[in-house]
Amino acid sequence: MGAKEQMIEILRDRDTARIRFEYRSDGKNATINQDCFTRVADNLQSGHLSVVEGRHRVNMVTYSSWAYRDDAANTFYLGNNLRWSRDFNALIVHEAVHAYFDVTRTNMPWLHNETIAYIAQGYYLRNSGFPLARLEEDEPHELGYRAAREYASGSGNTEWIQSLQDKLRNDARYSSYIRNPYTGDG
Ligand SMILES: [Zn+2]
């Protein structure tokens, strides 16, 4: 199976379909559910979104909304990934959130864009039965998992969302863009 076909399957699988939350923070709202991931899968299938393999040397996936330096618009870039793992599936879910905001031309500042993507990534890990204890503590996807658990339990406790936002604001890996605006261009 090619990477693109596999990504379409991941975005339509049952663990992705059970990701469901209403994000509200600082006046930014997003409804994340099965429809978001189906929409990205449809855009992959139609060819509006592309996939390039082997771009990164490490286990990462990125999504490029528009052409910038070596990146083409509307493209997922894969790396040296463990292609058949829940970890990989969750990474695809994360990047699909960015792609969703792009194809829906959504205004979603990077802080919120990343926060929502990490909650979705954590939500996938939770849904697939991935043990929280196997994630490195205080990493964004671990905090996203904890926030997802709060959403799934219906508690409305936003403490972990705050922790995740603080992490993203203060971690050097995100400093180059995390305070920037973002608006998808389709
Ligand atoms: Zn991201």
Write the CA distances from 45 to 13, 49, 72, integer angstroms.
15, 8, 18
Residue pair 144/122 in contact by the 8 Å Cβ criterion: yes
Q: Enumerate the H helices of 50-109 as residue ranges.
A: 86-103
State which residues form the domain around 121.
3-183
Q: How far is the CA of 91 from the centre of ligand 1 (A)?
A: 9
Q: How far is the CA of 29 from the centre of ligand 1 (A)?
A: 17
- The model carries a pTM of 0.98
Q: How far is the CA of 117 from the centre of ligand 1 (A)?
A: 6
Q: How far is the CA of 107 from the centre of ligand 1 (A)?
A: 15
Say how many domains are in the chain.
Answer: 1
pLDDT 10s per residue in the chain (186 long)? 899 999 999 999 999 999 999 999 999 999 999 999 999 999 999 999 999 999 999 999 999 999 999 999 999 999 999 999 999 999 999 999 999 999 999 999 999 999 999 999 999 999 999 999 999 999 999 999 999 999 999 988 899 999 999 999 999 999 999 999 999 999
Q: How far is the CA of 94 from the centre of ligand 1 (A)?
A: 6
φ, ψ for residue 48, nearest 5 deg: -65, -35
How far apart CA 108 and CA 119 sit, in angstroms, is 15
